[in-house]
Copies of this chain bind each other. A is one copy, B any other.
Amino acid sequence: MDVKVQKNLLCLSREAAEFGPFDAILELEGEPDALWFYREHVSRGVPCIWRGAVAHWPAVSKWSNDYLRETVGSKEVSVAITPNGYADAVREDLNRFVMPHDQLMPVSQLLDVIERKEDFPGICYLQRQNSNFMEDFAELWKDTDLDIAWASKAFGAQPDAVNLWIGDERAVTSMHKDHYENLYCVVRGEKHFILLPPTDRPLIPHMKYASARYQLDLASREFSVVDEKDHGVIPWIPLDPQKPDLNRWPQYRHAHPLRCTLKAGDMLFLPSMWYHHVSQSQGAIAVNYWYDMAFDMRYAYFQCMDAITDTVAEGNCCAVGDHDIEDEQELSTGKT
């Protein structure tokens, strides 16, 4: 029976991608109608891009490092620091999920480090997702919008969080998903996304790791990794979609990764529960809007499918799809 359930799960991944369709990210023009956006993208869970949607923001032309030093340079912010660019990611050599060293520093120092004006012993990323743009950066509000008006209309609510991201090009966000509908706007530089639909869950390895945190000793310039006993065991994804190990996780070859690059002024709608991996160019800056997602029947379906995927994986000690599927026809549920 295990193999049959595995095939049912593979069929989910394939049929959802056909329905989406998830073979490319739609590029749209102009401001969308709120109802149309909700019906065609939020409800269906289909990502899309608007090129130049926020190109009119003063931020896009104004936010040079000098301008930021003038306006918010003395502000102390919490910066994620790692030796390798990966904050919140699996270190397989340590069998740990490792969080970053968090350090308070003035924005001017962060910019110095990113510009390589200061020789700093770690890779810095301003990536606080506590609505840090709303909490800490009132001086910059006038250069952007505090919500996306048509999106707030569509969701019937203001954003739950607005986050500012300033990064070193070596800083990478490992693959994960969020319980938010996400409108992601690039102000400066480039952001590179790899997206996978939630229905690819059976094809994406999830493992459990003890949690740890980097600690940076500024005197010796050395990082250590210290267990974080209070965080307990964290389920995370060991697979890197930039270079997936298909020998170890052969089922991933059936997955449906979508790639896109956002440039200054572009906006991405990243639907809730979509897996995403993010990398960037040097000194990229972005502002993103998190709107509450609906916890509804679709979420219950995801949870069920997630649990069945785990059940199958535990039952036969191999992940879904590890066996070769010779006859694609067999994958059909035979239902219409």
Q: Give A280-312 interface residues, CB cut-off 8 Å to B.
A: 294-308, 311-312
A45→B307 contact, CB < 8 A: no
* Cα-based distance from A300 to B15 in the complex (angstroms): 6
Query: What residues of chain B lie closer than 8 Å to A155, measured between beta carbons?
Result: 39
Q: How far is the CA of A282 from the CA of B264 in the complex (A)?
A: 66
**Please, how many angstroms separate the alpha-carbon atoms of A314 and B2 in the complex?**
12
Chain A contact residues, majority secondary structure: helix
- The CA of A314 and the CA of B334, in the complex, are separated in Å by 15
A5-13, A86-94, A97-105 - the one binding chain B: A5-13
A7-24 contacts to B (CB < 8 Å):
8-9, 11-12, 15-16, 19-20
A38 contact set on B, CB distance < 8 A = 35, 38-39, 43
Q: A34-B35, A153-B35 are in contact. Are A43 and B294 (CB under 8 A)?
A: yes
Set of chain B residues within 8 Å of A34, measured between Cβ atoms: 35
Quick check: A303 and B42 within 8 Å, CB to CB?
Answer: no
Contact B295 A19 (CB under 8 A): yes
A301 touches B294 (CB 8 A): no
* Bound: A301/B311 CA distance, A: 17
Taking the closest CB of chain B, its distance from the CB of A154, in whole angstroms, is: 7
In the complex, what's the smallest C-beta–C-beta distance from A294 to chain B, in angstroms?
Answer: 6
Known: A36-B156, A304-B9, A311-B8. A297 touches B333 (CB 8 A): no
**With an 8 A cutoff between CB atoms, is A85 at the interface?**
no
Q: How far, in angstroms, from A306 to B5 measured CA to CA in the complex?
A: 11
B154 touches A35 (CB 8 A): yes
User: Given A20-B297, A312-B1, A39–B156 Cβ distance below 8 Å?
Assistant: yes
Q: Is A259 part of the contact surface with B, judged by Cβ < 8 Å?
A: no
Name A16's closest neighbour in chain B (CB-CB): B300
A254 interface residue (CB < 8 Å to B): no
Contact present for A297 and B11 (CB under 8 Å):
no
Least CB distance, A25 to chain B, in whole angstroms: 16
Interface status of A198 (Cβ within 8 A of chain B): yes
Within 8 A of B (CB), among A57-97: none
Instruction: State the CA gap A301–B307 with chains docked (Å).
Output: 13
Contacts A35-B34, A39-B156 given; indicate if A300 touches B4 (C-beta within 8 A). Answer: no
| A-B residue pairs in contact (CB < 8 Å), sample of 15 | A1-B2, A1-B312, A5-B308, A8-B307, A15-B303, A16-B297, A19-B297, A19-B299, A20-B296, A42-B43, A44-B294, A199-B300, A298-B298, A303-B333, A306-B333
Beyond the given pairs A8-B307, A11-B307, A307-B335, 10 more chain A to chain B contacts, judged by CB atoms under 8 angstroms and listed by A's residue number, are A12-B304, A16-B296, A16-B300, A19-B300, A34-B35, A35-B35, A39-B154, A43-B294, A197-B297, A308-B308
The 3 closest A-B pairs by CB, nearest first: A301-B301, A12-B304, A43-B43
* Chain A residues engaging chain B, CB cutoff 8 angstroms: 1-2, 4-5, 8-9, 11-12, 15-16, 19-20, 34-36, 38-39, 42-46, 153-156, 197-199, 294-308, 311-312, 314-315, 333-335
